Amino acid sequence: MTSRWKFVAALGALALVAVGAAAAFYSGRGTPGNSACSAAGPKLASLRPLARGEVAAVQVAQTPVPVPDLAFTAPDGSRTSLSALKGRTVLVNLWATWCAPCLHEMPSLDALQGALGGAEFEVVAINIDTRHLDKPRKWLAEKGISRLRYYADPEAKVFQDMRAARKVEGMPISVLVDPAGCELALLQGPADWASDDAKALIRAAMARP
């Protein structure tokens, strides 16, 4: 990991959010035998060696379990949820304009979407600003971030749901989800998602059995 990204990761560890106390990520996490996600087991083994370099802090799941069906606003303003994206591999990222490490990694998420995004994979970056709701779109436009579709949750309930399901206290948060809606890996903090290390991890997650 480069010194710049080490510094940003350190900032991410300090970017605690004031939206309640942390609880456990899934009440069923670590419980073996979840039938809906049991097929993801072999995929986890292939991902573990790839959590290295720029994505060394990624935590590959020990046991595959469903990700909470997060609800948020789609780019057209309609309500949608994570379950609507089943059938493709998804990298869910929660970000906000008040979170400096979030802003630092957004260009790399945009680059990842540009490199690998399509019918098989999407970066779903969900903005959780609760005030000045025009600010996130303006910031993205100013920075030339155009390949990410704009998802948002102005009530920040997606963060609350994530906290109610796993011990997460800071921002950003990224969760790698398989086509069946099962968690493959989680990262609390920023990463260089445009790096070769990140792309190798995502390609392995996308690989068909």
Q: What is the mean pLDDT of the chain?
A: 86
Give φ, ψ of 185 to 5 degrees.
-160, 160
Retrieve residue 96's tokens.
């906000």
Report the alpha-carbon angle 88-163-194, nearest 5. Answer: 45
pTM: 0.83
Q: Where are the domains of the chain?
A: 3-206
Answer whether 144's CB lies under 8 Å from 150's CB.
no
Whether residue 5 has pLDDT greater than 70: no
Would you put residue 13 in left (φ > 0), alpha (ψ -120 to 50) or beta? alpha
Distance, CA of 87 to CA of 104 (rounded, Å): 30
CATH number, domain 3-206: 3.40.30.10
Q: Tell me the per-residue pLDDT of 146-167, one tens digit each, with 9 for 90 and over.
A: 999 999 999 999 999 988 887 6
